[in-house]
Amino acid sequence: MPGNPLQITDPNASDNPLAYAPVTDADPGLFGRVADVVSGGVDRVSQWLAEQRAKSEKKGLWTGGDVWEGGHPTAKDAVNALQQLAGNFEGGIKAFHGSPHSFERFDPSKIGTGEGAQAYGHGLYFAENEGVARSYRDQLRGDPTIGGQPVDWANPAEHAAAVVAGYNGDRNAAVRDLAGQVASLRNQKGWNETSDPTAAALRYLQAGHELPPVTQPPGHMYEVDINADPARMLHWDKPLSEQHPDVQAAFSPGGPLAFVGDYLAKNPNMPTTGMHIEDILKMSGHSSRGAAAALSDAGIPGIRYLDQNSRTAGEGTHNVVVFDADTINLLRKYGIAGLIAGGGAAATQGNQ
């Protein structure tokens, strides 16, 4: 067909839904712009593939450079893929991290340098429950201030303002909190409600007085996708017999951590939970970092344990400890205003 060869389906050809009509009024610059978009997309995809190949090489999953240079997956990668297929691995754990700090990536060199206790092993900590991550952020981000000074808890106005701030400006929630504290204090012998600062703060709130503005370090929240199968993590509270078969295999005869299995076999009265396996690794001379490296090298991507809201019930949502930062994909970074003020519910936020 002469002219522009680009054709589109003719919407008016109702008698033939497959009829075509030539495009006669195409923008002469259209094809150039399309070519630019395609070229830019190819460049971005190529960059992403190069980054993924570098990560795979680092973990021993790829060798030989680019495909056209003879690059190919390693045997370790093939085994890893087969294991994932066999276990119907659907890929990824959606999780959250709360921190007083602002950053753009999770840096393994910072592990152990912050406020966290690393009580469940050496690694990067995440919560499946967003509320749990938020509570950690709030615990770590620092104390509120009023006028640049620490809150004077003996001052009813400042005390009340700080409690309201803790509830993101919800005065009713703050009243319920303070009323609960006062009800508990009334059971204490010799307690004086007239002079008690908590009771005074409650009265101040109930009277509807204006509150001074409170400033609090904002803290930050991070949502991530962790490229690991949670079932193949070492479950902190489960005995070895209830761990994933791949985890059990790591401690079985011929496995990379068979000495742990040998120790348990020689000490049949010793519990076999993930926590005790971590202890055995440390007893064998591994540091906390070394224990994490040994588990990672054995194909165990991290540790999983019930969070603070679930441990009493013995079920629910979990926190996870990730050994390899390269498995973490940061989806978004967000936060809450650094503080809430009084009657006008104004908010201020520190530098991020």
Is 224 a residue whose pLDDT tops 60?
Answer: yes
In angstroms, the Cα distances linking 31 to 8, 22, 34, 190, 285 are 15, 16, 5, 85, 65
User: What is the CA 15 to chain-centroid distance, rounded?
Assistant: 57
In a domain? residue 67 = no
Same-domain status, 205 and 259 = no
Same-domain status, 229 and 287 = yes
Same-domain status, 225 and 133 = yes
Same-domain status, 201 and 113 = no
Q: What is the pLDDT of residues 53-80, one digit of tens each?
A: 666 665 556 666 666 566 666 655 555 5
Same-domain status, 211 and 224 = no
Q: What is the pLDDT of residues 291-304, one digit of tens each?
A: 999 999 999 999 99
Number of compact structural domains in the chain: 2
Same-domain status, 292 and 151 = no
Q: What is the pLDDT of residues 137-176, one digit of tens each?
A: 888 888 889 999 999 999 999 999 999 987 878 999 999 9
Last residue of a domain, one of 161, 186, 215: 215
Dist CA 280 CA 15 (whole Å): 78
Is 197 a residue whose pLDDT tops 90?
Answer: yes
pLDDT of residue 74: 61
Last residue of a domain, one of 169, 193, 215: 215
C-beta separation of 252 from 261 below 8 A: yes
Same-domain status, 208 and 190 = yes
Structure tokens at 320: 């996870």
More confident residue, 34 or 110: 110
Same-domain status, 229 and 159 = no
Q: Specify burial of residue 158 (Cβ count, 10 A radius: 0-12, 13-18, 19+).
A: buried
Q: Which residues contact 104 (CB under 8 A, 6 or more apart)?
A: 330, 333
Domain that holds residue 186: 145-215
Nearest C-alpha neighbor of 163 from the set 219, 221, 205, 195 = 205
- What percent of the chain is predicted at pLDDT more than 90? 49
C-beta separation of 276 from 236 below 8 A: no
In a domain? residue 226 = yes
In a domain? residue 173 = yes
DSSP state letters, 268-325? TTS--BHHHHHHHHHHTT--HHHHHHHHHHTT--EEEEE-TTTTTTT-S-EEEEES-G
Last residue of a domain, one of 215, 233, 267: 215
* Run of H or E including 334: strand 328-334
* Biggest CA pair distance of the chain: 101
Same-domain status, 196 and 284 = no
Same-domain status, 227 and 324 = yes
In a domain? residue 150 = yes
pTM reported for the whole predicted model: 0.60
Name the β-bridge partners of 149: 146
Same-domain status, 250 and 321 = yes
pLDDT of residue 87: 42
In a domain? residue 318 = yes
Is 207 a residue whose pLDDT tops 70?
Answer: yes
Same-domain status, 177 and 299 = no
In a domain? residue 102 = yes
In a domain? residue 171 = yes
